[in-house]
Every structure is written in C-alpha cells, then in structure tokens.
C-alpha cells in the first residue's frame, strides 16, 4: 500500500510505519481530565480518613504509658497533669486527655485505647489549663504567655471562638472539685493491662463509682467510644409498688359461706350495697343513769306511795 503524500492533522511522515498521534487539544483535555480525577480521588480519601478518625477506637496517638502515671492537680483548676510525662497528658472529670499532633484524644484508661475528640467537644476546663503545664508544647504555642491558656480561638478560627465566647474568663472560686483519681488502675500494667474495651468497662464499673459532670465524659462512659455517636439507652426499672397496690394484689377473692353472706373483709357484697357500719350508742350522762335505776313508786296500803326522800305528797 502506497503511503499517502498528504499529512493529516496529528500525523507525521517518517520512514517505516506511520505513527498516529492525537491532536494537541485532545492531549490537553486528557491531561486535565486525569488531573481532576487525581484531585477527586485525594479528596475522597481525605474524607474517608476524617470520618474514620471520628468513630474509630484504639487510635495510635504516638505515646506509650507503660505504668500508671504520676498526676498532680493544676493549682486552681479541677484538672490534673502529668509532670513526668513526655506528652501533654491531663486528667479531668474521670477521663484522661492527651493533646498530641494538634488533636485532642480521650480515654477512660491511662494507656488507651484513645478516641479522637473534636475541638467543640473538648471540656473548657481542659482548654483553660495554662501553657506551662504542657510538657511538649507544639510550635504554635511559642510566644504565648506561660500563665495563660493557649489561644484556641486564634488557632481554631473564628467559628470556634463565636461558639465559645468568654471561654477564657471564669470565676476560679466557682470551679468544681477535681474528680477522684482511678487509682485502682495501678495494679494493671504490662501483660495485665486490659486492651479490650468491654473488659475495661467491666473493671471500671466495679471499682470506680464517680459520675462525670460533663456531657462529653458521660457519653464516653456510656458508650465507651467516640463522643457524639449513638448513645446507649439506659435500662428502665419497673416502678416500685405502692403499699395499697401490693395489698390489692394479695387481697383474696370474696366467697359465699352458703347462707347468703359473702366472706369479704371490706365492702360487703361484691356487687351489692356496701354494709353500713354499726354505730355505737352514745355514752350515758350521770342524770340518765339515775333515771334508769330509779324504782317505780309502790302503794303501801296507807295511801302513801313509796317515794324517795324529798318527794312528798302533792
């Protein structure tokens, strides 16, 4: 077959086999489509990662606490901090809190598993802890006052700051007392440390009776997962019976004794009129007693009636 002397758009003449190339505009459209596809895939992967982080349990936050840590109360705050830890480690309202990698994590046990907590759910008392109690402060803490809390509004944006107006202004005298430490966890370390969530919940329910104040801590205790997920419904107990209810349940059925009388302690006939209570006779007065025992006058034959002294003939 004789090669054509004409050159079609997108084709070049060369010795040997004829090479067909796509037009420039087609190649450009293909590159743009591929670029958009890669961007869409990256966004999709990012959204999946974010969703998984919100609900996942047992996140590796990059810290290890092999034994129960030393916890000290922050002066004037209902929050503990770990002075010997190599991380930003706190305890508040029955829950351990860790600030790591610009994220907050919570756990009911000192070495996790940890759950990610969104900024709007972190308790304000935790966020109010001054900068000096962060053992590993992040770079953006530099230049901030050591005796003041971090500038969360500046860091997390105006949206968070609008929802938490005045979060850093509060009366220290109104602060609640620090929650008791779950010291029972000291006996669980190494191979004895419970990693299963259900096992942790069972041990905690037996040894730790503290009831959290914060809603996020209560949800964390109830569902043992990420705060904001489906809340476990508490089981409702049957209402206690009132005294008259219990008596009514044990009351025997009325029976007929064969003489037309119903053996019922209260109420008489089951469907008839109720028996009228018998009325007692009123007490007798002294003068009535004398009249009742006064003998009748008798005629003694002498036209004198046997009357008591003081009653002459009329």
CB 220 within 8 A of CB 213: no
On average, the pLDDT of the chain sits at 72
Tokens of 226: 């990420």
CB 59 within 8 A of CB 114: yes
Q: Which residues of 201-223 are buried (b: 16+ CB within 10 A; e: fewer)?
A: bebbeeebeeebebebbbbbbeb
Q: Percentage of the chain with pLDDT > 70? A: 52
First and final C-alpha spacing in the chain:
177
What's the mean pLDDT in 91-110? 96
Distance CA 267, CA 302 (A): 63
Tell me the pLDDT band of 60, cut-offs 50, 70 and 90: confident
pLDDT score recorded for residue 48: 36
Over the stretch 171-189, which tens digit does the pLDDT of each residue have?
888 899 999 999 999 999 9
Residues in contact with 210: Cβ distance below 8 Å, sequence separation at least 6, in sequence order: 94, 179, 180, 182
pLDDT for 122 beyond 70: yes
**Torsion angle, alpha carbons of 144, 145, 146, 148, to 10:** -110
Domain residue spans of the chain: 17-55, 72-223
pLDDT score recorded for residue 285: 60
Tell me if residue 223 falls in helix, strand or coil: helix
Distance CA 163, CA 10 (A): 60
**Torsion angle, alpha carbons of 192, 196, 197, 203, to 10:** -30
Residue 270, CA distances (Å) to 186, 247, 248, 258 in order: 68, 18, 15, 15
Q: Which residue has the higher pLDDT, 109 or 237?
A: 109
Over the stretch 189-210, which tens digit does the pLDDT of each residue have?
999 999 998 999 999 999 999 9
CB 184 within 8 A of CB 205: no
Q: Which residue has the higher pLDDT, 37 or 129?
A: 129
CB 73 within 8 A of CB 178: yes
Distance CA 172, CA 290 (A): 86
């Amino acid at each position: 077959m004789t090669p054509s002397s004409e050159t079609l758009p997108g084709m070049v003449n060369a010795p040997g086999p004829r090479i067909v190339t796509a037009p420039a505009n087609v190649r450009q459209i293909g590159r743009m489509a591929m670029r958009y596809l890669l961007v869409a895939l990256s966004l999709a992967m990012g959204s999946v990662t974010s969703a998984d982080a919100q609900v996942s349990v047992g996140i590796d936050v990059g810290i290890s606490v092999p034994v129960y840590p030393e916890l000290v109360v922050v002066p004037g705050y209902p929050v503990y901090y770990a002075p010997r830890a190599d991380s930003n480690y706190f305890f508040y309202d029955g829950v351990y809190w860790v600030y790591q990698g610009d994220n907050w994590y919570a756990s009911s046990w000192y070495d996790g598993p940890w759950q990610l907590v969104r900024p709007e759910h972190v308790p304000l008392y935790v966020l109010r802890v001054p900068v000096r109690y962060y053992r590993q402060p992040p770079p953006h803490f530099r230049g901030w006052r050591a005796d003041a809390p971090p500038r969360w509004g500046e860091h997390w944006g105006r949206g968070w700051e609008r929802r938490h107006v005045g979060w850093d202004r509060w009366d220290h005298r109104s602060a609640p007392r620090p929650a008791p430490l779950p010291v029972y966890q000291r006996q669980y370390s190494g191979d004895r440390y419970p990693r299963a969530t259900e096992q942790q919940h069972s041990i905690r329910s037996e040894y730790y009776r503290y009831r959290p104040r914060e809603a996020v801590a209560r949800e964390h205790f109830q569902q043992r997962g990420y705060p904001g997920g489906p809340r476990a419904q508490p089981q409702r107990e049957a209402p206690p019976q009132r005294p008259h209810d219990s008596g009514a349940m044990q009351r025997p059925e009325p029976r007929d004794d064969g003489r037309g009388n119903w053996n019922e302690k209260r109420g008489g006939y089951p469907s008839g009129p109720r028996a009228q209570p018998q009325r007692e006779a009123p007490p007798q007065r002294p003068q009535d007693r004398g009249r009742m025992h006064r003998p009748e006058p008798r005629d003694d034959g002498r036209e004198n009636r046997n009357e008591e002294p003081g009653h002459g003939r009329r």
